[in-house]
Amino acid sequence: MAERVLDLDASPPIEAPPALLDRHTELLDHGLRKTGPRTRGLLRQMSAYHLGWTDAQGRPANDPAGKRIRPALALWACESLGGEPEWALPAAVAVELIHNFTLIHDDIQDGDQLRRHRPTVWTVWGAEQGINAGDGMFANALSGLLAPGPRPGRRMRAAHLLSSAVVQVVEGQCLDLSLEGRAGAAQSTYLRLVTMKTGALIGAAMAAGAVLAGAPRAVVRRFDAAGRLLGLAFQVRDDWLGTWGDPQVTGKGRSGDLRRRKLTYPVVAAYEVATSPRRRELRRLFREREPGGEFRLRALLDDLGGPALTAGVPMVLARDAIAALTGLPDEALTDFADLAIHVAERNR
């Protein structure tokens, strides 16, 4: 097959989600609801609330359920390699539940009170119950993937990939928390952090979809590598949105990362171009955590180059992710390219 050069600048409007995200919405919704907690207790209520199915009182709702990029990529990966999307559904459901378990715990650790324009689980039921909600969601994810069904060997391999990714995500979260208050960390440290915290699970989602399609190990590794690069693009853009995004669009505040003195790409990029006096000021503001210091930090970041220092980086990483999959059928590669560009340019 002759290689086709994709026009990466001819992307759809940001407001229109890529086709890849919406193609199997009903299939994924059915799988998620089927895999949810079977009990009628608080665990089910908290899970249903976090996933947007109910309000905090347990009444039916249709609230935002998140981007669902990871499960969509698992289904796409299987389909792009000649498999049926239903083959990858157990992995797609598992990776979405795993991702949401990490969000519930992340909200607790970071003290975030809003998620998808609604109060976070822990602000409604308390941190202790929020931990239970996340733990239960993780257990449901693995039990659904490992339940009896077709292609058990492939599903076991997919479960191993996702479990290994969870370990990396937790390692990344440990590193993230340990780096709070340290403005002078190297860019290589930041990249290691986000590769574990964000890239690992996206890579595992794509690799699991490839495994369930019966792909050879070399192809699985390529899909994993592309997913990790896409994860880097996602996180750098997320860092930009967390610093300069519109809270009315993102559904969360834009001072949380700065208030907690998180090591984000805007901080890393600004530190690299700063003069020695400005670097000292950055380190001081990160270290001393003065009341209102996040506003002085944003002003300093703006003075050092502001949004422009970070804005173009996600697209560079997205292009690298696309290049990692060169050789796929044109239609499949175009689908992935559309999603990668969307990830790099999204506003929420």
Q: Mean per-residue pLDDT for 102-117?
A: 93
Res 179 pLDDT > 90: yes
pLDDT of residue 143: 92
**Arithmetic mean of pLDDT, 110-130:** 94
Whether residue 194 has pLDDT greater than 90: yes
Q: Is residue 10 part of a domain?
A: no
| pLDDT bracket for residue 1 (50, 70, 90) | very low
pLDDT band at residue 13, thresholds of 50, 70 and 90?
very low
For the ranges 118-122, 167-171, 231-235, 244-248, which has the lowest average pLDDT?
Answer: 244-248
Residue 8: predicted pLDDT: 43
d(CA 312, CA 278): 23
User: Which of the two residues, 290 and 152, has the higher pLDDT score?
Assistant: 152
Q: pLDDT per residue over 19-30, tens digit each?
A: 999 999 999 999
Q: Can you give the pLDDT at residue 14?
A: 42
Whether pLDDT at 285 is above 60: yes
Flag whether pLDDT at 292 surpasses 90: no
Average pLDDT over the chain, rounded to an integer = 92
Query: Assign residue 57 a region: left if phi > 0, alpha if psi is -120 to 50, beta otherwise?
Result: alpha
Q: What is the pLDDT of residues 36-67, one digit of tens each?
A: 777 789 999 999 999 999 999 999 998 878 89
CATH number at residue 223: 1.10.600.10
Which has the higher per-residue pLDDT, 220 or 254? 220
Higher confidence at residue 242 or residue 250? 242
Instruction: Say whether pLDDT at 12 is over 70.
Output: no
Residues in the chain: 348
What average pLDDT does range 124-143 have in this prediction? 96
pLDDT digits (tens, 9 = 90+) for 199-213: 999 999 999 999 999
Domain encompassing residue 243: 20-56+65-345
> Helix/strand/coil (H, E, C) string of the chain?
CCCCCCCCCCCCCCCCCCHHHHCCHHHHHHHHHHHCCCCCCHHHHHHHHHCCCECCCCCECCCCCCCCHHHHHHHHHHHHCCCCHHHHHHHHHHHHHHHHHHHHHHHHHHCCCEECCEECHHHHHCHHHHHHHHHHHHHHHHHHHCCCCCCHHHHHHHHHHHHHHHHHHHHHHHHHHHCCCCCCCCHHHHHHHHHHHHHHHHHHHHHHHHHHCCCCHHHHHHHHHHHHHHHHHHHHHHHHHHHHCCHHHHCCCCCHHHHCCCCCHHHHHHHHHCCHHHHHHHHHHHHHCCCCHHHHHHHHHHHCCCCHHHHCHHHHHHHHHHHCCCCCCHHHHHHHHHHHHHHHHCCC
Q: How many domains does the chain have?
A: 1
Residue 2 lies in a domain: no
pLDDT of residue 36: 77
Q: What is the per-residue pLDDT for 289?
A: 84
pLDDT for residue 250: 79
pLDDT band for position 156 (cuts 50, 70, 90): very high
pLDDT band at 15 (very low <50, low <70, confident <90, very high): low
Sequence letter at residue 47: S
pLDDT of residue 232: 98
For the stretch 311-332, pLDDT in tens is 999 999 999 999 999 999 999 9
CA distance 162 to 154: 12
Tell me, yes or no, whether 98 lies in a domain: yes
What's the pTM value of the predicted model, to 2 decimals? 0.92
Does a structural domain hold residue 9? no
